[in-house]
Amino acid sequence: MSLKSFAAKLFAKNIVGKTAKWANNPVQAQQKTFKHLISIAKQTQFGKDHDFDGIKTHADFVEKVPIRDYEELKGYVEQIIEGNSNVLWPERPIYFAKTSGTTSGAKYIPITKESIKHQVEASRNAILTYIHETGKADFVDGKMIFLQGSPVLDEKGGIKLGRLSGISAHYVPNYLQKNRLPSWETNCIEDWETKVEKIVEETKNEDMTVIAGIPSWVQMYFERLNATSGKKVGELFRNFQLFIYGGVNYEPYRAKFENLIGRKVDSIELFPASEGFFAYQDCQKEEGMLLLLDSGIFYEFIKADEFFNENAKRLTIAEVELNVDYVMIISTDAGLWAYNLGDTIRFISSKPYRVIVSGRIKHFISAFGEHVIAKEVEEAIKIGIEHTDALVNEFTVAPQTSPENGELPYHEWFIEFERIPSDLSKFSCLIEESMQKQNSYYLDLLEGNILQPLKITCIKPGGFQGYMRTIGRLGGQNKVQRLSNDRKVAEGLTTFQI
């Protein structure tokens, strides 16, 4: 055992002990965070506008601070860009994380010195927790790769601006710098395909032990490694033992990954975003991720099926139930207040509080009242893969509301297969059965002859990458939209159909 791996185990034990203290007292941890945030921000412009001096309880907060999305917070962000201080947080942000907006172009999410500290600590603690649980620490001596955006930062209003992953690249601890790949120069390449080719060249002869990134783009990296070397990833990197991912559900990719790697490897799921780092997988034997309740974020939850109701109830951690989908609302030490992140989560444990990401409140199919969510379609395709010989690269689902020849409407599944199942009909039936079991509204529509069973449209190899390229979103931080309530994505895939 090297000195570095020995030290990692000692540090891991210390961190896990600290984590247990707040995880075992979740309500107290959130109350402490709430009071701290309100106290710090009382004299900010936002605090004065919303009478933070008069906020003593969560009920006060609900009364004085309405839920906002970025569009409704934008006026405050623009004040910061104009050079004002003490707007959303006492100090000006040290970064803006640039993300894609829906109606107004780019979004500029403030990151403060406090919030970036919590981002970095959460990433570190996820790995340390894994080390403590498994006793595996030798990987810290090997090479690690984090597929991420360019670390080259621009400026907006005198504040450094970039993608979150590019910003995070500036916070890799010194003891990992010698282990980290790719090179700084390669990381700065903007064109994703050029970047991946360069990463392959830099890493194919290295002792890679940890690989991290969004599954769909790590898959692209693995495919290029296979094509270049003629070897499975696990053969090429014999000591590769840990895959770290976030952004999308890994399960639809798992079978394809294990085929590309040639064996199973451990994995850690993360739940990071530009707005904060919310959860990480703290146990290899349990499903879900530990919700971080002591990291500068105060959470509220609204039941997803009530979210669009007027005066929908905003719940605290003390009031949530298991196996219910909630829209997650956050207030943070970056100056986001009652901010609608857009993600839906589901609690699967309360001791400690563990969550899974079930989808996006704006990404669903309910053209006929079925309200299908991402978690359901991901579970269905997982069932199809497990019980057939199919391998799936990517997929998305959209409603077909006006089919030709007067037939009933249906859900259209656009699937890019690595290996088309020998019995496509069986694969389709497995998905259909899973959807009916998971979603009673969907089943009712089928039984009522409002919908007919789903149909599969096969996409050419590389089709989803081609589609992402056409919309300017080919890259390591962009994700294929799993669900649409319209035909926009479906129409974009038209030229890539088989």
pLDDT band for position 102 (50/70/90)?
Answer: very low
Q: CB–CB of 371/364 below 8 Å?
A: yes
Residue 468 identity (one-letter amino acid):
M
10 Å Cβ neighbour count for 188? 15
Q: Are residues 14 and 137 in the same domain?
A: yes
User: Residue 181: inside a domain, yes or no?
Assistant: yes
Q: Flag whether pLDDT at 404 surpasses 90.
A: no
Which residue would you say has higher pLDDT here, 448 or 340? 340
pLDDT band for position 312 (50/70/90)?
Answer: very high
What DSSP line would sit under 102-135, residue for residue?
Answer: SSSSEEEEEE-HHHHHHHHHHHHHHHHHHHHHH-
User: Residue 134: inside a domain, yes or no?
Assistant: yes
**274 CB burial (10 A radius; 0-12, 13-18, 19+):** buried
In the prediction, which pLDDT does 475 show? 66
Q: Are strands 242-246 and 208-212 parallel, antiparallel or unpaired?
A: parallel
For the stretch 273-302, pLDDT in tens is 999 999 999 999 999 999 999 999 999 999
Q: Are residues 400 and 336 in the same domain?
A: no
Neighbouring C-alpha atoms within 13 Å toward the C-beta of 126: 27
Cα 289 from Cα 279, distance rounded (Å): 6
In the prediction, which pLDDT does 342 show? 83
User: Residue 158: inside a domain, yes or no?
Assistant: yes
What's the order of all strands across the beta sheet hosting 353-360?
Answer: 180-181, 143-146, 208-212, 242-246, 266-273, 276-280, 289-291, 353-360, 339-350, 325-332, 297-303
Which residue would you say has higher pLDDT here, 33 or 476? 33
In the prediction, which pLDDT does 149 show? 78
Q: Are residues 337 and 386 in the same domain?
A: no
Q: Are residues 141 and 218 in the same domain?
A: yes
User: Residue 366: inside a domain, yes or no?
Assistant: no
Q: Is the peptide bond before 110 cis (omega within 30 degrees of 0)?
A: no
Q: Flag whether pLDDT at 240 surpasses 50.
A: yes
Q: Are residues 189 and 87 in the same domain?
A: yes
What does the pLDDT average to over 204-216? 90
In the prediction, which pLDDT does 165 show? 83
User: Residue 367: inside a domain, yes or no?
Assistant: no
Q: Are residues 100 and 166 in the same domain?
A: yes
Q: CB–CB of 282/292 below 8 Å?
A: no
Specify the residue for token string 């975003």. 273
Q: Are residues 299 and 401 in the same domain?
A: no
Residues 6 or more apart whose Cβ sits within 8 Å of residue 363: 373, 374, 481, 482, 483, 484
Cα 375 from Cα 352, distance rounded (Å): 22
Q: Flag whether pLDDT at 339 surpasses 70.
A: yes
* Residue after which a domain boundary falls, among 335, 361, 387: 361
Cα-to-chain-centroid distance, residue 150: 19
What's the order of all strands across the beta sheet hosting 106-111?
Answer: 106-111, 95-100, 159-162, 154-156
In the prediction, which pLDDT does 477 show? 63
In the prediction, which pLDDT does 277 show? 96
Q: Are residues 425 and 462 in the same domain?
A: yes
What does the pLDDT average to over 1-21? 91
Mean pLDDT of the chain: 91
The whole domain housing 407 covers: 374-496
Query: Total structural domains in the chain?
Result: 2
In the prediction, which pLDDT does 73 show? 94
Q: Are residues 116 and 7 in the same domain?
A: yes
Least confident among 31-35, 102-106, 393-397: 102-106
CA of 94: how far to CAs of 29, 79, 113, 118, in Å?
26, 15, 6, 14
What does the pLDDT average to over 457-470? 92
The CATH number for 465's domain is 3.30.300
In the prediction, which pLDDT does 5 show? 86
Q: Flag whether pLDDT at 104 surpasses 60.
A: no
Q: Are residues 93 and 226 in the same domain?
A: yes
* Residue after which a domain boundary falls, among 361, 395, 411: 361
Q: Flag whether pLDDT at 101 surpasses 80.
A: no
In the prediction, which pLDDT does 360 show? 73
Q: Are residues 258 and 384 in the same domain?
A: no
In the prediction, which pLDDT does 103 show? 45
In the prediction, which pLDDT does 476 show? 57
Q: Flag whether pLDDT at 193 surpasses 90.
A: no
The CATH number for 19's domain is 3.40.50.12780
User: Residue 352: inside a domain, yes or no?
Assistant: yes
In the prediction, which pLDDT does 105 show? 63
In the prediction, which pLDDT does 358 show? 81
Q: Please, what sign has the CA dihedral across residues 99, 168, 273, 65?
A: negative
For the stretch 343-371, pLDDT in tens is 889 999 999 999 998 877 777 787 887 87
Q: Are residues 380 and 342 in the same domain?
A: no
Q: Is the peptide bond before 453 cis (omega within 30 degrees of 0)?
A: no
What's the order of all strands across the beta sheet hosting 391-400?
Answer: 391-400, 410-419, 455-458
User: Residue 368: inside a domain, yes or no?
Assistant: no
What does the pLDDT average to over 177-182? 84
**What interhelical angle do 215-229 and 251-261 show, nearest 10?**
20
Q: Please, what sign has the CA dihedral across residues 466, 271, 381, 147?
A: positive
CA angle (371, 367, 365) in 5-degree steps: 45
For the stretch 129-152, pLDDT in tens is 999 999 999 999 999 998 877 888
3-state secondary structure (DSSP) of residue 201: helix
User: Residue 369: inside a domain, yes or no?
Assistant: no
Q: Where are the alpha helices (DSSP H) in 230-312?
A: 233-236, 251-261
* Residue after which a domain boundary falls, among 330, 361, 392: 361
Q: Are strands 95-100 and 154-156 parallel, antiparallel or unpaired?
A: unpaired
For the stretch 46-78, pLDDT in tens is 999 999 999 999 999 999 999 999 999 999 999
